[in-house]
Structure 1
Amino acid sequence: MDPPEQHSGTSSGTSSGTPHGTLIVRAWLEDGRPDRLRVRILSTVGGQPAPPLAASSVEAVQTAVREFLTRLANIAEDSR
């Protein structure tokens, strides 16, 4: 796999005119709790970071991923 492209200066959210985003999902299990799942979600779309999210259910993570992809798709539509 090729390394990610390196950019200098500010990001316009596009690379060669193509909108892009980054989604980082960090998940772990905590002992001693009935809802053991803990997740931190970081995302950037079009060079604009979103506030970090915390989740403790699969459904909440699925919703966050869906919202990220929707934001990315909207930027792609807006750039046409």
Structure 2
Amino acid sequence: MFYGAMVWDPWLIVAQIVCLQYYLTLGVFLSFVVGTHVSRMSLVYFFDFATLTSSTFVGWCVIASFLFSAVAGAGYMIHLIERARSA
């Protein structure tokens, strides 16, 4: 989007909004669930698959945050589809 000609692409805008909602929701869940058990939050918990481990308690917290975020995303989609269906 920052390189080349600026073209009106609504699908790109929708995809960026969906990704932003997902990462904002994941950030909220990570800050509440994982942030209370670690001394310093980092972007590692977002993007490094090595943190998704079942051998530590913090790993289970990261897994739970991802699952909560997925459920919240499903809730967003249900709300969006119901709104589009009623309109």
TM-score w.r.t. the length of structure 2 is 0.37
**Whose Rg is larger?**
2
Higher helix proportion (structure 1 or 2): 2
TM-score w.r.t. the length of structure 1 is 0.40
Higher strand proportion (structure 1 or 2): 1
